[in-house]
Amino acid sequence: MGLRGPLAGVLALLLTTIPIASAMADPVPAAAIDRDVTAALRRFGVPGAAVQVTRQGTVIYTKAFGSRDVPGGAPVRPDTFFEIGSITKQFTAAAILQLQEAGKLQVDRALADYLPDAPHAAEVTLRQLLTHTSGLHEYLDGPGIDELATRPIAYPDLIARVAPLPLDFPPGSRWSYSNTGYLLLGKVIEAVSGESYRAYLQHHIFDPLGLGEMRTTAEEPHLSNMAIGHHHVDGRLERAGIIGPDWAGPAGFLVMRLSDLAVWDASLRSGKVISADSYRQMTTPFMTSQNGSADYGFGLFVGTVYGQPRIGHTGGSLGFTTADEYFPRQDVRIVALTNLGDNSPEAGEALTNIVFADLYPALVAAAERPAPDEDTHVTQAATDAFRDLQTGGDYAHFGAILGAKLANGKGAKFVTDLGPYGAPTAATFKGARQSGAERWYDYVLHFGPGVFLSFAVRLGEDGKVAGFSIG
């Protein structure tokens, strides 16, 4: 869980549409978006979704698909509530920056200045917590977490899950997604503001923006227009548990509608929440000492897709995956909320990719052209090795040393994480590069519309894969 087979006969795909006239010169390909989103929901077995596109500040497309619950559930509406998961982190990061602007904290100070009893408090800074570069271990790791996370828990018990553990790496040296950092940032907000985290967000963000009463997973059972979370278990769609607000908290406990996120997104960028300088800090990638750019700022991923700059975040919980993605070059924001919690792949992010491809097919076609000088033998070795990672077994397409490590237990995680993607439908060669004495070959593997992974390999003297990376 990250606070990050067709369903025949179940997915009714009831459609609710708000007709919106676009003031833009380019027509909105609404029919194509409808068709492709509907096909994706069937492909992933998603009960319901809500999708919105804003261009140059104007909403140009809003549509609700499918059901809030199955079987026979009421249809999703554009104003249906969804868990937004880790999109919550934007709110936490903005609150920290508000407090910095007020002179109550500094993001480059040690955590110990604000929470002296926190794990490794003297070793990590607030900036490292904000950018997932602290090295603090993930508190949501561990067996049975999906069931545990539905139960009440106190903060001391949560933090005790990681307190005895060493740092995973020296702070600032690498990037590794860690909800622990945002759990601690929530406590920093409380320590320096004198308010609970929830009260701070209500008083300093929700009230000033006119968003009304803040809703979290705690209120979920009492919201009449709330989507019900689902996930697949052994291929069957089942209701998922509700992640406890104590567990998710500043890392992912908000429940919102499309319209709420539209107000939030516009306000954050326009200076209504934090200053322009603070927003630049949120959207500036952290540079790690070992691996260069983390492609992550404060509560926001900062990278590219289809060769276009993209700033945003996904959200995943027990029964929901969501995505809120801004493309600055096109001044377009695409938001997709779904009530399916499967994370391999995440339906929310796939939908935003699909919608962007429908809006800008020429850009996507150009980005998907292969680089010249492809070696088809290397491509075949790479795709065969990737299938080994998905299926396990004897890892015959890997060199002896790496294959033995994967076969002796290291490969189990890849089977779990990559298997649900299914076999790649295409492998696009993106070029070769030299790293010291090693030559690497970069690919984008495709798994149907909107779903792709970066995959790089290097080959040993035997022609088999001796190293790989997945991004």
Residues 344 and 400 in one domain: no
Answer yes or no: pTM beyond 0.85: yes
Task: Report the CATH number at residue 421.
Answer: 3.10.450
Of 353, 450, 347, 449, nearest in space to 48 by CA = 347
Render 249-280 in DSSP notation, one character per residue: HHHH-BEE-HHHHHHHHHHHHHTSSS-HHHHH
Q: Are strands 15-18 and 58-66 parallel, antiparallel or unpaired?
A: antiparallel
Same-domain check for residues 236 and 316: yes
Q: Please indicate, yes or no, whether residues 325 and 413 belong to a single structural domain of this protein.
A: no
**72 in any annotated domain:** no
Which H helix or E strand runs over 304? strand 301-305
Of the residues 328, 363, 398, which one is the last residue of a structural domain?
Answer: 363
Q: Who has greater pLDDT, 6 or 131?
A: 131
Query: 356 by DSSP, 3-state: which?
Result: helix
- At CA 6, angle to CA 355 and CA 363, rounded to 5? 20
Q: Mean per-residue pLDDT for 15-41?
A: 70
Task: Answer whether residue 20 shows pLDDT above 80.
Answer: no
Higher pLDDT, 4 or 308: 308
The answer to the question of residue 334 being in a domain is: yes
Q: 179-227: per-residue pLDDT in tens?
A: 999 999 999 999 999 999 999 999 999 999 999 999 999 999 999 999 9
Residue 212 belongs to a domain: yes
Instruction: Write the pLDDT tens digit of every residue in 335-346.
Output: 999 999 998 899
Verify that 434 and 297 share a domain, yes or no. no
CA triple 276-282-286, angle to 5 deg = 135
Instruction: Read off the pLDDT of each residue in 355-366 and give the average, rounded to a whole number.
Output: 96
The predicted structure's pLDDT at residue 21: 35
DSSP 196-253: -HHHHHIIIIIHHHT--S--BTTTGGG-TTBPPPEEEETTEEEEPPPPPHHHHHHHH-
Same domain? For 397 and 272 the reply is no
68 is a domain residue: no
Q: Is position 96 within any domain?
A: yes
pLDDT at residue 1 greater than cutoff 60: no
| Domain-embedded: residue 78 | no
Count how many Cα atoms sit within 13 Å of the Cα of residue 357 in the half-sphere of its side chain.
Answer: 23
What is the band of 3 on the pLDDT scale with cuts at 50, 70, 90? low
Judge if 240 and 210 occupy the same domain. Answer: yes
Q: What is the pLDDT of residues 234-252, one digit of tens each?
A: 889 999 999 999 999 999 9
Indicate whether 447 belongs to any domain: yes
| pLDDT for residue 133 | 98
* Full 3-state SS string of 70-85: CCCCCECCCCCEEECH
pLDDT, average across residues 42-62: 96
Same domain for 343 and 401, yes or no, is no
Q: Is the backbone peptide bond immediately before 71 cis, with ω within 30 degrees of 0?
A: yes
State the sign of the Cα–Cα–Cα–Cα dihedral 375, 377, 383, 389.
negative
CA distance 126 to 355: 35
Helices and strands (H, E) in the chain, number of each type? 16, 17
Do 98 and 271 contact (CB within 8 A), yes or no? Answer: no
Taking phi over 0 as left and psi of -120 to 50 as alpha, with beta for the rest, 85 belongs to left
Rounded CA separation 345/341 (Å): 10
Give residue 238's pLDDT.
96
Nearest to 339 by CA among 10, 51, 37, 68: 68
State the pairing for strand pair 426-435/332-338. Answer: unpaired
399 in the same domain as 343? no
CATH number of the domain at 185, please.
3.40.710.10
**pLDDT band, residue 22 (cuts 50/70/90):** very low
Compute the mean pLDDT over every residue in the chain, rounded to the nearest whole number: 93
- Rounded to 10 deg, the angle between the 30-44 and 347-359 helix axes is 150
* Count of positions (residues) in the chain: 471
- The answer to the question of residue 169 being in a domain is yes
Q: Pull the structure tokens for residue 365.
A: 């076609």
For the residues 129-137, what does the mean pLDDT come to?
98
Our count of domains for the chain comes to 2
Distances (CA, A) of 344 to 61, 145, 404, 452: 27, 17, 25, 11
Beta bridge partners, 465, equal 398, 459
- In terms of domains, do 179 and 89 share one? yes
Residue 13 pLDDT exceeds 70: no
Range of the domain at 350: 85-363
pLDDT in tens, 411-421: 999 999 999 99
Q: What is the mean pLDDT of residues 38-62?
A: 96
Show Cβ contacts of residue 400 under 8 Å, excluding neighbours closer than 6 positions: none
Confidence of residue 2 (pLDDT cuts 50, 70, 90): low
**250, 200, 298, 446: CA torsion to nearest 10:** 50
* pLDDT tens string 71-105: 888 999 999 999 999 999 999 999 999 999 999 99
What is the spatial distance between Cα 81 and Cα 338, in angstroms, rounded to a whole number?
Answer: 10
Written as one letter, the residue type at 388 is D
Residue type, 307: G
Is residue 330 domain-shared with residue 425, that is, in the same domain? no
Determine the pLDDT at residue 68.
96
Q: What is the average pLDDT across 168-179?
A: 97
